[in-house]
Amino acid sequence: MEKILIIDFGGQYNQLIARRVRECGVYCEVKPWTAPAAELKAMEPIGMIFTGGPDSVYLADAPKVDAEIFTWGVPILGICYGCQLMAHLLGGEVTPAQEDSAREYGKTVTYYNTSCELFQGLPQEGVSWMSHGDYMARVPEGFALAAHSDACPNVAIADEHRRFYGVQFHPEVNHTEYGTEMIRSFLYHICHAHGGWTMEDYKNTAIASLREKIGAGKVLLALSGGVDSSVAAALLAEAVGSQLTCVFVDHGLMRLKEGDEVEEAFSKWAMNFVRVDAENRFLLKLAGVSEPERKRKIIGEEFVRVFEEEAKKIGAVDYLAQGTIYPDVIESGTGAAAVIKSHHNVGGLPDCVEFKEIVEPLRMLFKDEVRQLGRELGLPEYLVSRQPFPGPGLAVRIIGDVTKEKADVLRLADFIFRDEVARYGEDQNLNQFFAVLTNTRSVGVMGDGRTYDYTLALRAVTTSDFMTASWARIPYDLLERVSTRIVNEVKGINRIVYDITSKPPATIEWE
């Protein structure tokens, strides 16, 4: 299978490069810069991409590759640090940019030499995304200048004979106009890729490598019913069938019908599906607790305990599988960010189970790729396109203490809201929408009588990364319909409000 190798020098957009290459229909793998040259060569790449990175090539311990790589006759595209490294290793000179010269950050107007293979067919001018503090003072022999900006004469360099290309900007980010076209040119015109790689190929390769890795071993996975763990479960079920045991802890704080839906979706595989009904345990632990962080901690701890008990019944396993996806990898990698909410995920379990190794079959995939893989594996659409749902479930959507009665009230109200949104087709425009049971009661009048019931809040947001979000301008008609239905159908609610705060300053969830 034709493949592109992406050599990772630690830049923040590296996985995005992989994603772009795959979007262009070419399989690629990301390898750390420490991978031995022999290993890379044995993979027979049709081309390599050197990523960006935070270092400076002229420093003694800067990440490097074996210069032997340049003798293989394999085309290389160096991006930012990768470009500077190539220049440095091939005899050019890279220096810190002087104050007012070629240090560039952000959107920069760039002028392309469109006779260069990389830029062929593009307009001669476009905006590119720069982020570099170093400057190529001298380009290596054999290289020509292929693009420039107002501040920098060598924004791109090319040795068309050896098929080595370097760009100081980031073609992989959306801010770079024509960036994907450049990557496509590299793949198809320079590396002569045939393309045609699809998610089906990815699925088959992943299944084959899981089978090879796991052999006859036993695998355990904590299934939450969310997209990631569900797709990981389906992939493993397809790969190793009955060697897989999925433990689905139903903490009683799921949405309406959710537990049954998850169970139903996995009934077609010959794996072991353990559904633990732990509603009473969780509610008992949560009784009287209203502080949000405390609720989260209790649920997280109890989850581990339940899982541990189930795992003990299963006995030692060889592999613990997790539905880690690439954004999780980035998030846990930074470490410096302030804790706004302690997110409870199915991760963080390894301490309590005996196992040899962790498998994370989705580690390389972005969310939309995970969904695509789920479809490829035949998971139902309601699971695959499911909106995010916090690990602690409805507990963080019931403000104040959690009881079964409140959970039931919220479950039904939330179901009606989601049902009406979908009926309206408005779900296509929203990234997350749900109901929150506020801890506020107010006076109402129903029939001829006074009521003193709960206020329900509706929340609907649009967002691309869930780090920031805007409150959604959903139609008044829809709001009215939802309000009428909920007040009529759900006992215990007599007032509905719509949350019109964005994130920041609010968060998406209320707790």
Q: Is 341 in the site for ligand XMP (CB under 6 A)?
A: yes
CB 266 within 8 A of CB 283: no
Chain positions 360 to 419 lying near ligand XMP, rule: CB under 6 A, are 388, 390-392
Quick check: 95 binds ligand XMP (CB under 6 A)? no
Positive or negative: CA dihedral 321, 327, 328, 329: positive
- Residue 509 in the binding site for ligand XMP (CB under 6 A): yes
Q: Is residue 292 a contact residue for ligand XMP (CB under 6 A)?
A: no
Active site residue 80: yes
CB closer to ligand XMP out of 153 and 388: 388
Residue 238 annotated in active site: no
- Contact status, residue 117 vs residue 80, Cβ threshold 8 Å: no
Q: Which helix (H) or strand (E) holds 495?
A: strand 493-498
297 contributes a contact to ligand XMP by CB under 6 A = no
Under the criterion CB under 6 A, does residue 499 sit at the interface with ligand XMP? no
156: nearest Cα among 9, 165, 364, 164: 165
Hey, how many other C-beta atoms are within 10 angstroms of the C-beta on 122?
A: 17
We find the least distance from the C-beta atom of residue 366 to ligand XMP, in angstroms, to be 16
Largest Cα–Cα separation, the chain: 90
Instruction: Compute the distance between CA of residue 504 and CA of residue 511 in angstroms, rounded to an integer.
Output: 14
Query: Site map for ligand XMP, 428-447, x if CB under 6 A?
Result: ----x---------------
C-beta of 4 vs 457, nearer to ligand XMP:
457
Which listed residue (80, 83, 116, 191) is catalytic?
80
CB of 225 to ligand XMP, least distance (A): 11
Determine whether 172 is an active site residue.
yes
Q: What values do phi and psi take at 108, rounded to 5? A: -135, 135
Collect contacts of 34-37 with beta carbons under 8 A, ≥24 apart.
Answer: 34/63, 35/7, 36/66, 37/65, 37/66, 37/68, 37/69
**Is residue 329 a contact partner of residue 292, using CB atoms and an 8 Å limit?**
no
Q: How many CB atoms lie within 10 A of CB 357?
A: 12
Asked if 468 touches ligand XMP (CB under 6 A), the answer is no
Least distance to ligand XMP, CB of residue 289, Å: 16
**Which one of 70, 466, 471, 498 is in contact with ligand XMP (CB under 6 A)?**
466
> In the complex with ligand XMP, which residue's Cβ is closer, 33 or 282?
282
**Interface contacts to ligand XMP, rule CB under 6 A:** 340-341, 343-345, 388, 390-392, 432, 466, 503, 507-509
Q: Which active-site residues does the annotation give? A: 80, 170, 172
